[in-house]
């Protein structure tokens, strides 16, 4: 059964929040966090990202909770060698 998805323009207030968020990250470095199951790029995180994020991999469909801070430490340890 196909779900009907309604697509609409965000409200002016939401559009302003989106614009401010894009301006806030313009000078930040972005890095990709890979799905631990299939290795596909799962999410993009920026330098100021903190906390936990749940994402569903577009390639394998598995949901994973990422601890952004610990993933950064793991990434740095692996790439210092």
**Is the CB of residue 64 less than 8 Å from the CB of residue 42?**
yes
Strand, coil or helix: what is 22? helix
Q: pLDDT by residue (tens digit) across 9-23?
A: 999 999 999 999 999
Strands 63-67 and 52-56: antiparallel
pLDDT band at 50 (very low <50, low <70, confident <90, very high): confident
Q: 30-34, 55-59, 69-73, 75-79: which has the highest mean pLDDT? A: 55-59
pLDDT in the model for residue 73: 55
User: What does the pLDDT average to over 48-73?
Assistant: 87
Question: What is the residue-averaged pLDDT of the chain?
Answer: 85
């Amino acid at each position: 059964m196909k779900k009907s998805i309604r697509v609409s323009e965000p409200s002016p207030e939401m559009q302003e929040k989106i614009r401010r968020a894009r301006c806030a990250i313009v000078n930040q470095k972005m890095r990709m966090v890979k799905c631990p199951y299939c290795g596909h790029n799962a999410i993009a995180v920026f330098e100021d990202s903190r906390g936990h994020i749940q994402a569903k991999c577009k390639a394998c469909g598995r949901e994973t909770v990422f601890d952004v801070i610990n993933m950064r430490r793991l990434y740095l340890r692996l790439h210092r060698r």
